[in-house]
Amino acid sequence: MGLEQELQKINKQKVIVVGDVGLDEYVNGSVKRISPEAPVPVVEVAREEVRLGLATFVAQNIATLGGVPLLVSVIGEDKTADVLCGLLKENGISEKYLTRDSSRPTTRKMRIMSEHHHVVRIDYEHRRFLSPEIQKKVLSNVKDLLPTAQGIVIQDYAKGVLSESCIQEIIREAKKSKVTVMVDPHRTTPVGYYKGADIMTPNTEEAILLSQLPIDDLRKASDGLVEVGQELMNKIGSEKMIITRGKDGIALFERSKVEYLPTVAREVFDVTGAGDTVIATLALAVAANVPLKAACELANHAAGVVVAKIGCVPCTRAELAAWCQTPSVR
């Protein structure tokens, strides 16, 4: 079956997305002089923009690809939360399962840009785990949604929403409901937090760090990535693993083999958010029972779409369909 036919299957699939959420703010302009007050560039602002960030960007990708994201997370009682909820509404994503917590701010990342170049990034956030009361609400929301969901994505940015106990409870409940669990890990989170997940999707650097294998030896060995993939599968007790490799595409691991799927990107302007697009596409495809290799191919093509854009801009269903119809990807 061709990719166009597989793409049709993902329509209307419901996928829970649970993890850290936040707002991405871009202040863009040009640098023409150095400040007389200090040796720093002066950015003359031309435009400002706010976008969905972190796990909300995964949810946005699921929505633009034709799926139904069920977003579960925690936000603050602040103006950033109000802006975030407004953007979710604009994108057809429900805020019903977002828990408000007055003790923490809603994560906000402000990027000061000169044309396509970062000048500085300013983060507003508190990195700490949730209180037992708030975590209980998060888990309750996940449990309520599982009976209607075809898949779940645990999206970890190490901001505090996902503790080990929270992740393990989500995985246990998902298994009871026979819902596939996919994890986009964070490099600083102990890999044991993800034990029991069905599929994990680290990038190469995250995979090496999470494996805890000797980095220098791995980079010298031609089969280093194979060893990393096998080690990660052993650590979380999974039969499958996907490692995203940037410009080199995707490595698909199954217990007895590894297959390399080369990138299909025609132009690369910005890789920001490509990993989020990959897991959103994979989650929809796996939820629709698309074979894993075909799911990876769809995700590869979706990543090829977004890296040709500037900033975190999602892949739409129409863009992915058009890409799949081109002779170069058949």
Tokens of 278: 């990959």
What are the φ/ψ torsions at residue 44 (nearest 5 degrees)?
-85, 110
Q: How many CB atoms lie within 10 A of CB 1?
A: 10
CA distances to 15, 195, 197, 286 from 72, in Å: 11, 21, 18, 20
Strands 21-34 and 107-114: parallel
Tokens of 137: 């609400």
DSSP state of 311: S
CA distances to 21, 168, 246 from 271, in Å: 19, 30, 8
Burial class (CB in 10 A: 0-12, 13-18, 19+), 45: exposed
Known catalytic residue: 276? yes
CA distances to 30, 78, 94, 157, 176 from 118, in Å: 11, 27, 32, 21, 45
Q: Out of 20, 24, 198, 276, which one is annotated catalytic?
A: 276
Q: Please give the positions annotated as active site.
A: 276
